[in-house]
Structure 1
Amino acid sequence: VMSGETHASIVAIEGYCAFHHLMLKMIAKYPELSKRIDSTINRFVREERARIKDNTPSLGDFIPLLTVSETFRWLDVRSAYVQENFDRNALWVIKQFPGLRKVDKGYANKTIVNQNRLRKTFEANRTSMRLLMFHVYFLSKIARPDGRSLSEVTANYDLFYGRPTAQMKEDLQSHCKKVLAVDNWPAFFRMIGMKVPSQQGVTFVLNQAVVNSQRKGYHH
């Protein structure tokens, strides 16, 4: 999706929509799935142990649950999701930049800024962050737009045999270009619908991710 190649992106978008349409049909046919999905999301938000890899092996497989939930939206899970995403990415940051394994002295006071950590972590996380920016757009604009029920979203898909409309394709292509142009932390947080933290705030989050990653056994 984020390759920048128009044809490949459209094919991927059509695949996303077809899969979402199928998921909606499954929910309609087996309503009991909704309770299980909402229970899974609720635990993810409320309990850190539900977010660790042993219980949620793939964060990429978690986001689709939000596309078929009437109860939860991205707004409800974003803080927990983003921190867990950073925690998991800490391993790859450290592999690429071993010097970032050591946390910044006094980071917990949220008063320091480490430009080196900010720059290098952004570089190491770029692909993961691009995928998240795309997923948040798909979730909020196509899968679960404000004010529309799951049945209404399904009905719209039915009109086009589970395929995105021409306008959806155009809007998604435009958004993908914006995602590829994101090159700083404030722009990233705006794109995922979160309040833009200060540089001190981001420095804290990235240091905490290293601490959390080691505590959870993601790296040693």
Structure 2
Amino acid sequence: MLSFFTSETLEQDYGGRTVSLLSLRNDNRQLPQSFDCERCEFKSGTWADAKRAHRKRLQEAAALEEATAAAAPAKPDHHSHQALTQMPAEILLTIIDTLEFRDLTAFAQAWTRVSDLIAQADVVRLRELQCFCTKANFNSAKLGVGVSLDGKGANKSIESEFDLLSEEGFGKLGIRKSVHGINFSHWLPLPISHRHWAQVRGDAKVTLTQIGEYAGLGRRLTIDVLAAFMNDVVVRLNKQAEEPAKPRAVALPRWAMPDLWWAKPSAPESTLRHASEKAIESYFHLFHMLVCFATEDRELVETANRRIRVFASGQRHKSVCPNLGHLLVYLLISDVEITELLRKDIITEAITRNVVWLFDKRGADMPELSYLEPDAESPYRLKRTFEGGRTSYRLLMFSELFRRTARPGHGKPLQQVREELFDRHGAPPRGAAAALAAEVRRLHEVDNFYDFFREMGLQKIPGVRCFTAVLRATVKDSVSYGYSSWGLSQDVAYVLRRQKERGVGVVPGLQMLRGSGEFSVPRHLTFFPSKRGRARLSGRRR
């Protein structure tokens, strides 16, 4: 553009010919200039006419300024300033409600009382509690979130992006995609305020029942469906760190890009697959609903108490406690004291249930750990067992961390917890979301059982020798409980283990395989009890 206005010639797009701009400019100057402006009194004429018009405008502006100054009210005295500072908070909040966000920010910067009032009344968060489609808030509409069921088969995971959507947006307008384009099929209202919860309580129960049936849970109690939902949220939040990063495509210049009109557009990605403040706030919304149901129906609390006491008594089989993640949610509303022994029992059962996933190729694929070494201490077993079940241990650490934040101890009644949540409109305590998100990211760096024990709050941490024996016992218990099977005989498992750990001990009387070379895992090997593809000497040499 600069060359266009300063050049004397202009190249044409045909034949390389140039046209002189000087002649065109001269022709333009010879055209009559006859433009008159009614506002600024610009008129075509001589230079003297322009100067006279300019002086006239200056004189009129000066006269207007003097008249405005004379009519201005006197400066407020001390009493009027005092009246302003004594303005009731209700009136200030009414004024604040009428301001746009930019004006609100300027008002807060100009007056510290307004800034403090915005923080105390949680004005910014209240403005965020609105439907992303219709922009209606919770005072004028029923607000909830879209819920989807992911997975194949009977058991599906319950997922949500937790973008607030009104009942009108879901029902009348047919909104079925989140802000980032992720599909959902159900609408679950949330307990944002007392008044709002009174309006949507019945809808929430109906929706949870439907979600439970579609997710393969059957007709279960509301706390069971909520426990499954909360557990799935934590699994998603903690599993993301284990997924390998996708390789980035090489950036190409526009002219070098191939014609991709046929390419399939990339699928929308969830915003809750990492430890963000939004993910923490979403979990608090579900916790708020759980507490609301628990305080309104004492039988739900008694059910949670009964299930925890049964588990603590030693009845920990999957037929009694199908999902440990659900048990962790029951702890949030239970009256049962959480002792160190109960924590250890939960940890031991989690390790036992992880055995099949630790060995099998559908999980961590570490079949060599099925060999039960005679060594008193096995750093290899400790290290690899933790690595193979890291997602489960992160879930346990998050649940313990959340319990300490949301309900530290049982001294605070559930009714008080509910009222505090209503005061915050379902949000975490001030600053807790950012702190919890940072803690979750820190917990992702835990890479051994002993740091894990400290995060779980254990005071008496077992030694290496003791815990090695515990891990070997969980392998035997897993088989005896029917969680897994002996996919490999000990002689084959020993050969696989020796390939990974050269100095592993030999069990006395173990029948050693003849021949030399490495053994590979049989193709159809499984440690799941339903398919007992037991392999004795079927390991292939290579």
Residue 104 of structure 1 is matched in structure 2 by 373
Q: Secondary structure at the match of 1:181?
A: coil
State, as a whole percentage, how many aligned pairs show the same letter.
28
- Give TM-score, length-normalised by structure 1: 0.88
What is the distance in 2 between the residues matched to 1:204 and 1:73? 25
Q: 1:76 to 1:158 in 2, by over 3 A?
A: farther
- The answer to whether the 8 Å contact 2:397/2:452 transfers is yes
What is the distance in 2 between the residues matched to 1:146 and 1:171? 22
What is the distance in 2 between the residues matched to 1:23 and 1:188? 28
In structure 2, list runs of 5 or more residues that go unmatched. 1-236, 242-270, 486-542
Which of 142, 147, 159 is residue 423 of structure 2 equivalent to?
159
Q: 1:76 to 1:143 in 2, by over 3 A?
A: farther
1:161-209 Cα shifts (integer Å, max 9, x gaps): 1121341112202211220121222111000111322111221121111
* Aligned pairs for 1:51-70 within 5 A: 51-70=316-335
- The answer to whether the 8 Å contact 1:90/1:209 transfers is yes
Instruction: Give the AA of the match of 2:399.
Output: H
Q: Secondary structure at the match of 2:280?
A: helix
* Aligned pairs for 1:1-220 within 5 A: 1-2=237-238, 3=240, 8-9=274-275, 10-48=277-315, 51-73=316-338, 75=340, 77-95=342-360, 96-105=365-374, 112-145=376-409, 147-194=411-458, 195-220=460-485
Residue 109 of structure 1 is matched in structure 2 by none
1:112-140 Cα shifts (integer Å, max 9, x gaps): 11111111111101111111111110012
- The answer to whether the 8 Å contact 1:6/1:173 transfers is no
Q: 1:183 to 1:7 in 2, by over 3 A?
A: closer
Q: Secondary structure at the match of 2:426?
A: coil
- The answer to whether the 8 Å contact 2:308/2:336 transfers is no
Residue 75 of structure 1: CA displacement? 4.0
Q: 1:74 to 1:143 in 2, by over 3 A?
A: farther
Instruction: Give the AA of the match of 1:30.
Output: D
What is the distance in 1 between the residues matched to 2:377 and 2:274? 39
- The answer to whether the 8 Å contact 1:122/1:184 transfers is yes
Residue 76 of structure 1: CA displacement? 5.7
In structure 1, list runs of 5 or more residues that go unmatched. 107-111
- The answer to whether the 8 Å contact 1:113/1:199 transfers is yes
What is the distance in 2 between the residues matched to 1:200 and 1:122? 16
Residue 153 of structure 1: CA displacement? 1.5
- Give TM-score, length-normalised by structure 2: 0.37
Larger radius of gyration: 2
What is the distance in 2 between the residues matched to 1:130 and 1:192? 10
- The answer to whether the 8 Å contact 2:295/2:414 transfers is no
Instruction: Indicate the structure whose relative CO is greater, using CA pairs within 8 Å and at least 6 residues apart.
Output: 1
Residue 8 of structure 1: CA displacement? 4.0
- The answer to whether the 8 Å contact 2:280/2:437 transfers is no
- The answer to whether the 8 Å contact 2:337/2:410 transfers is no
Q: Secondary structure at the match of 1:161?
A: coil
Residue 139 of structure 2 is matched in structure 1 by none
Question: Number of residue pairs matched?
Answer: 213
What is the distance in 2 between the residues matched to 1:52 and 1:216? 7
Instruction: Give the AA of the match of 1:200.
Output: R
Root-mean-square deviation (CA, aligned residues, Å) is 2.0
Give the structure with the higher percent strand.
2
What is the distance in 1 between the residues matched to 2:450 and 2:405? 21
What is the distance in 1 between the residues matched to 2:467 and 2:341? 20
